[in-house]
Structure 1
Amino acid sequence: MRHFLIIIFLAYCSSLATAQEPIEWTPDYELQLTDYRSPESEINSALTSYSIYSGSKIDFSFNMNSVSFMFTKNFNSKIKAVFHPNLAVLVAPDSLTAQQLLQFGRYDFDLVELYARKIRKKVYEEKGAFSDSKLFQPIFNEYQEEMNTVSAQVFKATDFGKDTELLIKEHNKVIDGINQLSDFCMTCKPNKNRK
């Protein structure tokens, strides 16, 4: 008897309908202003306010029969940090503010990768031969909530990235965290001796 499991978790929103392909996180790609492709994005001197919606999310999906699921321990490739250009909004009155917001967007994309790695690690540690798909939702929810809290705190503390020194400090912490979880990159196979 074949049972197919389909689980799709999307961070920040439950469904996405974009014509633009998402950008998967890689260590050598840095977001650019041109990546913020929502029609609401603009840099306009007539504006009196500024804002950003980063468009960065954790996507988690797999489709496999119950036998394959039982023998799969490494779900790294199924948990992705992605940036959706058509959902990403950056609104600024000038190019300096736009660059500061962009720096926050870069921080946030790296933060999403850090939490994707934390989820990959936790799933790897918790998934047993007889685990079922219910294992994933509490892990995802816990780390999603933590990630949202951290992002909001840094967003507020740096005033949308305007405090560049503090943002650089926070961004470096995220990069260090990513490096510490190097076994849990999307294409990595964790050491089997690790729990």
Structure 2
Amino acid sequence: MKKIISITLLFIAVQINAQNNIEWDGKYQLQLSDFQSNTTQIGNVKINSIHTASSLDFAFQMSNIEFVFTKNFNSKVNSTFKRDAASIIAINTNTANYLVNFAQNEFDLSELYARKLRKEIYDQKGIFSDASFLQVLYDAIQKQYTEEHAITSKITDLGQNEKKLLEIRTEVLKRIQEYPDFCKSCKPPKKKS
């Protein structure tokens, strides 16, 4: 009986976590209802603020032997949006909507840099590579991602310039297509010798 209860609770916990995290798939569009942090507030405020909760994550666990023979790390690099950490503070609904559009661009940008990281790992991982090179790659890509996010924030005035944001987002989506072999579930073609 205890095992059944434990398994049921574990299943519920996994389901709740799965509902909280949205993995980038190119189809799902963020909505205001995805900003589920307790700090989200529309109206009765004097400032506009957003925490997009999009992230570029890289983690793996494998033996040294597995690491030596693994070339494709695509599934180990994630682009996710965490609903319970995402918050919007906006003076009104119109402002909240442009902040949602800004967050969608941020989510797309995290996928672009996830694909760049997957490609870099694939291109630079050799049979005798030491795992430490992965941290250097991750740090460099994370820095580029953060800088591009900051520039977009500045250029679009946090998404208020909707025309400029649309131009930037269109370009980001186009750049994602330049890495068709580096989606999370993709298998890059073998290099020809």
Fold conserved between structures, TM > 0.5: yes
Find 1:140's aligned residue among 131, 135, 138.
138
Deviations 1:87-107 (A, max 9, x none): 111111111100100000000
Q: Residue in 1 aligned with 2:155?
A: 157
Q: 5 Å matches for 1:62-101?
A: 62-101=60-99
User: How far apart in 1 are the matches of 2:111 and 2:120?
Assistant: 14
Q: Residue in 2 aligned with 1:43?
A: 42
Q: 5 Å matches for 1:157-176?
A: 157-176=155-174
User: How far apart in 2 are the matches of 1:59 and 1:145?
Assistant: 13
**Which of these two proteins has the greater Rg computed from alpha carbons?**
2
Extract structure 1 runs of 4+ deviating beyond 4 A. Answer: none
Structure 1 residue 182, shift from structure 2 partner: 0.9
More helix by share: 2
Find 2:112's aligned residue among 99, 111, 114.
114
Q: Aligned-residue CA RMSD in angstroms? A: 1.5
Structure 1 residue 21, shift from structure 2 partner: 3.2
Q: Residue in 1 aligned with 2:27?
A: 28
- AA partner of residue 36 (structure 1): F
SS in 2 for 1:73: coil
Structure 1 residue 191, shift from structure 2 partner: 1.0
User: How far apart in 1 are the matches of 2:85 and 2:192?
Assistant: 38
Corresponding pairs, count = 177
Identify unmatched segments of 5+ residues in structure 2: 1-15
Classify 1:159/1:194 alpha carbon distance in 2 versus 1 (closer, same or farther; 3 Å). Answer: farther
Identify unmatched segments of 5+ residues in structure 1: 1-17
User: How far apart in 1 are the matches of 2:53 and 2:175?
Assistant: 21
- AA partner of residue 142 (structure 2): Q
Identity across matched positions, percent: 38
Q: Residue in 2 aligned with 1:180?
A: 178
- AA partner of residue 37 (structure 1): Q
So what's the TM-score if we normalise by structure 2? Answer: 0.88
